Chains A and B, each alone.
Chain A
Amino acid sequence: AQSVTQPDIHITVSEGASLELRCNYSYGATPYLFWYVQSPGQGLQLLLKYFSGDTLVQGIKGFEAEFKRSQSSFNLRKPSVHWSDAAEYFCAVGENDYKLSFGAGTTVTVRA
C-alpha cells in the first residue's frame, strides 16, 4: 500500500518569506500527486497536481511543486507568502484505485 509522509507538522513563516512544504511518498510507479489546502472549518481546495511531463508544476495562488522521482518527493513552494496563506496543507497520492491517500498535513502559520 502506498503511503504519504509530510515530515513537518507545523511551520511558521514570516509574511513575505519563502515557504517550502515537504512531501514524500512510497509507491512502485509514478502516482498522481496533489497538493490541497484547507482553511479552518472548510473543505479541501486543489492547489496543483502532477501526472507526468514537466516535473515543475504551477498551481493557483502562486504555488508551485517539483516532482523528484529519485527522492520520491513532491515538495510545495511559494516564493513570498501572504497572511492569507495560513492554513493546513495536504499532500495526496492517487494510484489507480479510485481513492486518494493523504499525508497527515502541515499547518502553516504566517507571522506579520
Chain B
Amino acid sequence: KAGVTQTPRYLIKTRGQQVTLSCSPISGHRSVSWYQQTPGQGLQFLFEYFSETQRNKGNFPGRFSGRQFSNSRSEMNVSTLELGDSALYLCASSQDRVDTEAFFGQGTRLTVV
C-alpha cells in the first residue's frame, strides 16, 4: 500500500511569488491535513479537509489556502510568499480524522529567497 505522497519534495521560490504544494493520501483515506514545521515554531496545524470540506483551520494568514479534490488529493497554496514561509510542509492522511490516527508524508521543503 503506497504511503502519503507529497510533491514536489523541494522548492525554491522568490519573495512575492505564489506556490502550490500537492498531497496524495493513502488509498481509501478521506481526511488530509497540513502542517508547517519550522525550527522556531515547531509543528503548526494549517488546515484539515474531509470529503472536500474544510473542517478545521489553524491560525495562519489568508495567504495560506487549501483544497481537496473528489479523489481526496489535496493542494495547499501560499500566495505572496514571505521569507518566513520557508519551512517543511507536511501532509497527513487518515481514514476519517487526523486526531485518531495520521500518516505523514515526507514533506515539501520550501525555501523562499
Contact = CB atoms under 8 A, between A and B. Distances in A.
A43 B106 contact: yes
Majority secondary structure of chain B interface residues (helix, strand, loop or mixed) = strand
Interface residues on B, range: 20 to 34
Given A44-B90, A104-B42, A105-B42, A98 B103 contact: no
Contacts, number: 65
Nearest to B31: A98
A106 B43 CA distance: 13
B19 interface: no
Interface of B: 4, 6, 31, 33, 35, 42-43, 45, 48, 50, 55-56, 58, 90, 92, 97-107, 109
5 tightest A-B CB contacts, nearest first:
A94-B99, A102-B43, A43-B104, A44-B104, A98-B56
23 contacts: A32-B100, A36-B104, A42-B106, A42-B107, A43-B105, A45-B104, A46-B102, A46-B103, A51-B100, A90-B43, A94-B100, A96-B99, A98-B97, A98-B99, A99-B45, A99-B56, A99-B99, A100-B35, A100-B43, A100-B99, A102-B35, A102-B43, A104-B42
